[in-house]
Structure 1
Amino acid sequence: MSSNASSSKPGKLVLDQARLDAAKQSLDQGAVTPDLGRWREDIVQLLNDALATELVCVLRYKRHHFTATGLESPAIAEEFLVHATEEQAHADKIAQRIVQLGGEPDLNPDSLTRRSHADYDEALDLHAMIRANLVAERVAIEAYTQMIELIGGKDPTTRRLIEQILEQEQEHADELSDWMTKAK
């Protein structure tokens, strides 16, 4: 319960009626209630940077999928494609949330790499590809962890979305870490 919630006696949770009444106003804002509205622009900016990161990751994984060579490469290349598909799903969910918040997803290709937290990589060595993807996943994990802390209770829906994406990014990092030891 928010710190704005009132309580008539210690230990009792009671909804804040003023906030409920405020939610009845500005219906043109859709799901953006007044309390969330204060943080909307900041959250949309965080999400647009995360969107850029996901799209750069899609492109990096796709490049690695198509250019991976060597004895271990067929299986790992297929996993790169799986990761690319999952990163694209993350990007789609983030873009949908930006629109729900009344923002516009920034898909401008000219600024993707500049806004991305992770780097694009053109490595041709399979071990270097795995390493670059692991670094990117670790950066994404850190970025999403910080976003969760920043958003906190300000926007529970966005926080839950980011938590779900974070869980999958952690799975990717674990897989890549395993591949690094196998590819040596």
Structure 2
Amino acid sequence: MSDSFVLDVTRIREEAQRKMEAGPVTGSYGLDEERVIAILNDVIATEVVCWLRYTRHAISAIGIDRAQVSAEFTEHAAAEMQHAIRAAERVSQLGGDPDFDPATLVQRAHTDYTTPASDDLKAMLENNLLAERIVISTYQEIIRWLGDHDPTTRRLMESILEEEEEHADDIIDLLGT
């Protein structure tokens, strides 16, 4: 059984020339780029909401372990904003408009912008751990859906997922559980 790989470079060159305006989206893309853009815009909303929550918690945290927890929240907030920017750059590459509209962020986000009734560190940690767990699950589903159809977006999401898992692990360490 011989499965020979044959690459039709002439056909690929001709198609690339005909569809120059499509940028990185080629005929072999495999997904509806509008759907991918919509999903990535929801990822942007999720990451911005997480950035906002972590930033608020870093500023308002009080208690004996405030310095350590606040530093961790600040670090996580910076990572969340970078995730949003990376997703926005991919939206732009796919020909879409990154959606940072403050009026719709909360509705599009996978997590809530919830904060504990008090500035209790444990409650903040638990709130952020819950958000990380939601993000981990939703991003895993997105990655499975992307499969081999869009390896660039899949790798982006896998990279973000890896950092989200690290955030959850950091929070577990801080909770001492």
Shared fold per TM-score greater than 0.5: yes
Distance across 2 between alignment mates of 1:173 and 1:74: 19
Residue 156 (structure 2) aligned to one of 140, 158, 161: 161
1:179 Cα shift? 1.2
CA-CA distance at 1:14 after TM superposition = 3.1
Q: Is 1:79 aligned to 2:72, yes or no? A: yes
The aligned length equals: 174
TM-score, normalised by the number of residues in structure 1: 0.88
The aligned counterpart of 1:110 is 103
Matches within 5 A, 1:28-177: 28-36=21-29, 38-123=31-116, 124-177=119-172
Equivalent pair of 2:115/2:127 in contact (CA under 8 Å): no
Give the CA deviation at 1:16. Answer: 5.7
Give the gaps of 5 or more residues in structure 2: none
Counterpart-to-counterpart distance in 2, 1:59 and 1:14: 50
CA distance in 2, matches of 1:12, 1:43: 32
Shift in alpha-carbon separation, 1:62–1:140, aligned structure 2, 3 A: same
C-alpha contact 2:132 2:164 (8 A) present in aligned 1? yes
* Counterpart contact for 1:39–1:154, Cα < 8 Å: no
Identity across aligned pairs (percent)?
44
Q: Distance in 2 between matches of 1:143 and 1:16?
A: 38
Aligned partners of 1:52 and 1:116 also within 8 Å: yes
